[in-house]
Structure 1
Amino acid sequence: MIKRRVTHRKELGLIFSIAMGISFLAGSAAGQSEIQMEIRSGESFRIPILLEPIQGDESSISPEMMQDLEHTLINDLLFTDLFRVLIGTRETSWSDPNAADEEEGLPPQPQAIVSTFLEIKEGNLILNGKLEDYATAREIFASRYRVEKKMERWAAHNLSDDITRYLTGEPGVGQTRIAFVGKRGEDSDLMLIDWDGQRISPVTELSSIIVSSTWSPDGRKIAFTTYHTGAPSLAGVDLEDSSLFFISQESGLNSSPAWSPRGDRIAFTLSRDGNAEIYTARPNGSDKRRVTHSPKIDTAPVWSPSGRQLAFTSDRSGRPQIYTMDGDGANLQRITFWGSWNDSPDWAPNGDRIVFAGYIDGSFDLFIIRPDGSGLRRLTQHPGDCENPRWAPDSRHVVYSRREGQDRRLWILDVESLRERSLTPSGLTAYNPAWSPLMKATSRGARWNP
């Protein structure tokens, strides 16, 4: 863990807010273009799946471990919003203790059944998982997940991801973590949390302002903006050994890093030439290349999954809007025309949508739009600000920060069903999340390997 104590500085807010001068937002959303926007209620079919109680060698495995593993597996499947999890056995009956309001009544017949057996061999924990078609008892898959004893949660995450993949064809996200800026008191640090809300842990102890972060595509490093030297710098942390490295310490702004899908470039914002412009560089900070050339502010870049394009925010039209361009700055296109302030874009891993925060009716909410500017759809309608949306690797879930009064927490939204759940606890100010790529847990338990 990185530790460094510095003189306290008053939090300046998000880098983008500093660059753009958020004061001109406070006016209104007047003058909005007549752009058609889809507002859709959340509806989705969830596959009924029967989860039998976990079996195991009770002489070597504690009931608490089996209960924790079962709880993790149930939550993983429920949180995908793809499954209705039934509890019971094939021979007896089953119930649905987590039924949604619209699913009350007799539980349906399962379409699949999951059986598990837990054992310990040579000091390692082995979770044996099997998925069968319920009606025919045909085996869909069977697998063994070997981890250290303290890593039973990751065995459950692995199994849940395989179940999701075999039944839906979509990747699961159980084996992911979310980086975010956490704040207790006046100081903030970079933290990690599992996608199901467990295992909050600090990555840094710099006790300074941190405002944004991005994962390397192999999940081994996180780049972020920090003020711990007194001015905004781009830094990074290697999760394997907790070492800190610097990417850019130019005069002025060094902010909004975004790692390219291949891992060979980082896009970010610099103001060394007078105003905020987008640059790219190698992860070690060398070979800086200016991408935008505008008298206005360009910031918050994100890469397309192909690595050939960037989406970003610019006020070159007078108000902050979302644009796309090639990685060298060519083929510039404005894609948002609705609203007075659109910011914080993130490109879905499957490439078909961009999520962003838009100002409407006095606060920020979340929207998605296609990269060509069509298909605008509103995702949230909350009285507080919904900001900093970031996609999960499955291109279905989005993590974001929501401010309600003095409370600022992370939430996860399913963009198809529009169901939401809180991720971080109350009492911890959390914002600027970044969702990791799909990963595997290492034997050390605290870090990840691809």
Structure 2
Amino acid sequence: MLPALAQFRVEVSGVGLTQLPIALVAFRGQDAAPQKISDIVQADLERSGQFRGVDASGQALDDTSRPDWSLWRQRTADSLVGGSITRLADGRFDVKFRLWDVVKGQELGFQNYTVPQGDLRLVAHRIADFIYEKLTGEKGIFSTRIAYVTKGGSRYALWVADADGENAQAALASSEPIISPRWSADGQQLAYVSFESRKPVVYVHSVSSGQRRQVANFKGSNSAPAWAPDGGSLAVTLSRDGGSQLFTIPASGGEPRRLTQSASIDTEPVYSADGGTIYFVSDRGGAPQIYKMSSGGGSPSRVTFSGTYNISPAISGDGRWLAYISRVGGAFKLQVMELSSGNVASITDTTADESPSFAPNSKLIVYATHLQGREALMTTTLDGKIKARLAGQAGDIREPDWGPFRKQ
């Protein structure tokens, strides 16, 4: 195991149009605990773009309190969170919290967790998920994970981290490039491309055990893995028959089946959430554009028409949005298309964006870009109004992929 990255710093910028004002009072006992639970919860909620923190300084409140509604209404909080964290005799921690609706003057929920010290961050993310779902009606994504690659000197590493970039664990280290990590739909496996045998080979890696297997190591290039939603197969780009074409291959390995028959380069496949459609990049029209076709193959249709260079498609889980990278002048910029209308919005002011990936609730996108001369991970809301930088200290960060919802 490699040492974890230095602590990530989450910087949130921008203001959304409608943000829910929420007050999070410091949990009783958290100053003596290894993690500041209420701070983690507040950072999660603000990063989502849906919440605005209300000043809760100078107030004592926990899960046994009855709030002073008039005080919190004066502070313009619509909702309020108080809790406690207690170290037990066996070394575990007891974490409790309550969520209140200040406007109505009533409790919205109570939760209690008893966990080892190593799970305190996960508990904080689960609390944020609970609050997010109660107040927005949507599922929260704070306890999910992201995978990404770093390059430091001549060393490459594949990391699995919490959705806020903290708690990074190294899954693989290599002196040769690692690219294109992709989560399976059950969150148990990562597919990726490694050059450790001096050519691109597709591997599948068990996140819990660290065991891995080669899935595609054919003559030529093996690249761009994408999981079918049922986890039984992968779409890959192979050059075994000449030019780069799309194939499907069983996740356990085996003989690939060819999907595209063109004289052009077809690559970067991605499945729709229902598994019925594959989106991919092709230069069959003379320049890279995004196309779609039935996941069983067949005649593709073009999806992107604005701009002359569009790559790296990502599809939201709700099927409404396509994120991709477009070259505009000399800049590479993140674009979001509403698939039903074809309307496209450019949502960043950076110029070296890459590798967009949707959160599993379709509300945020993680991507890599350059800021102040360094590669960094960012999250953004779909309208580009709220961005958060997840800034690591150890090497350049690239190729993020957002994992699925975790089982409780």
- 1:338 partnered with 2:310: no
After TM superposition, give the deviation of residue 432 of structure 1 in Å: 0.8
Choose from 435, 438, 442 the match for 2:402. Answer: 435
Separation in 2, partners of 1:278, 1:374: 25
**Where does 1:15-164 land on structure 2 (aligned, <5 Å)?**
43-56=16-29, 63-65=31-33, 68-88=36-56, 89=59, 90-91=67-68, 109-121=76-88, 123-164=91-132
RMSD, aligned α-carbons: 2.3
Q: 2:222 aligns with which of 242, 254, 269?
A: 254
1:290 corresponds to which of 240, 253, 258? 258
TM-aligned CA distance change 1:108 to 1:364, over 3 Å = farther
Q: Which moved more, 1:319-328 or 1:282-291?
A: 282-291
Give a deviation string over 1:286-335, Cα, whole Å, max 9, x none. 25211111110000001101111111100000000001111012352101
Query: For each residue in 1:324-370, what CA deviation from the matched residue of structure 2 results, as whole angstroms up to 9, or x when unmatched?
Result: 11101235210111111100000001110110000002111011113
- Is the CA contact 2:347–2:384 (under 8 Å) kept in the aligned structure 1? no
CA drift at 1:151: 1.4
The verdict on how the C-alpha distance between 1:87 and 1:287 changes in structure 2, with shifts beyond 3 A counting, is farther
Q: Which residue of 1 aligns with 2:386?
A: 419
2:318 is the counterpart of 1:353: no
Does the 8 Å contact 1:145/1:158 carry over to 2?
no
Q: CA 1:287–1:301 in 2, change beyond 3 Å: closer, same or farther?
A: same
Match of 2:375 among 383, 391, 408: 408
Query: Within 1, Cα distance between the matches of 2:146 and 2:297?
Result: 30
Distance in 2, matches of 1:142 and 1:91, equals 18
Is contact 1:321–1:336 with CA below 8 Å preserved after alignment?
yes
Cα separation, 2, equivalents of 1:197 and 1:159:
17
Aligned partner (choices 160, 166, 174) of residue 142 of structure 2: 174
Q: Which amino acid aligns with 1:229?
A: S
Amino acid at match of 1:387: E
- 1: distance between equivalents of 2:129 and 2:289? 36
Distance 1:191 1:93 in 2: 47
Distance 2:269 2:68 in 1: 55
Given that 1:216 and 1:263 are in contact with CA atoms closer than 8 Å, whether structure 2 keeps it comes out as: yes
Report the CA distance shift for 1:94/1:343 in structure 2 as closer, same or farther (over 3 A).
Answer: farther
Of 366, 372, 379, which aligns to 1:399?
366
1:408-428 deviations in Å (ceiling 9; x for gaps):
121111113522221132552
Letter in 2 for 1:167: L
Deviations 1:266-286 (A, max 9, x none): 111111110111111221122
Higher deviation after alignment, 168-177 or 369-378: 369-378
In 2, the alpha carbon distance for the partners of 1:94 and 1:87 equals 12
| Equivalent runs, 1:266-345 vs 2, <5 Å | 266-345=234-313
- The answer to whether the Cα contact below 8 Å between 1:53 and 1:87 also exists between their aligned partners in 2 is no
Moved more, 397-406 or 360-369: 397-406
- In the TM superposition, residue 399 of structure 1 has moved relative to its aligned partner by 1.0
Gaps of 5+ in 1: 3-40, 57-61, 96-105, 441-449
Q: Which one-letter code corresponds to 2:353 in the other structure?
A: C
SS, match of residue 366 in structure 1: strand
Shift of 1:113: 1.2
Check conservation: 2:54, 2:76, Cα contact below 8 A: no
Alignment coverage as a number of residue pairs: 387
Distance 1:413 1:427, change over 3 A: same
- Structure 1 residues 107 and 349, CA gap change in structure 2 (3 angstroms): farther
Q: Distance in 2 between matches of 1:388 and 1:72?
A: 26
Contact kept in structure 1, 2:155 and 2:176, CA below 8 Å = yes
- Report the TM-score when normalising by structure 1: 0.81
Task: Give 1:146's aligned amino acid.
Answer: T
In the alignment, residue 438 of structure 1 is paired with which amino acid? F
Q: SS state of the match for residue 76, structure 1?
A: helix
8 Å contact 1:303–1:309 — kept in the other structure? Answer: yes
On the 8 A contact 2:133/2:139 being kept in 1, the answer is yes
Distance in structure 2 (CA, Å) of the matches to 1:351 and 1:271: 30
Indicate the residue corresponding to 2:335 in structure 1.
367
Give distance in 2, aligned partners of 1:287 and 1:306: 24
1:199 paired residue number: 167
Once the two structures are TM-superposed, the CA of residue 203 in structure 1 deviates from its matched residue by 1.1
Whole-Å separation in 1 of the counterparts to 2:176 and 2:322: 31
Instruction: Decide whether the 8 Å contact of 2:16 with 2:50 is kept in 1.
Output: no
Q: Which residue of 1 aligns with 2:354?
A: 387
Give the Cα–Cα distance (whole angstroms) in 2 for the partners of residues 335 and 77 of structure 1: 34
More deviation, 80-89/214-223: 80-89
Secondary structure of 1:132 counterpart: strand
SS of equivalent to 1:55: coil
CA distance in 2: counterparts of 1:303 and 1:209, whole angstroms: 25
Secondary structure (helix, strand or coil) at the match of 1:385 reads: coil
Q: With structure 2 as the length reference, what TM-score do the two structures score?
A: 0.89
Q: Shift of residue 125 of structure 1?
A: 2.1
Q: 1:387 to 1:195 in 2, by over 3 A?
A: same
The 1:44–1:299 alpha-carbon spacing in structure 2 relative to 1, beyond 3 Å, is same
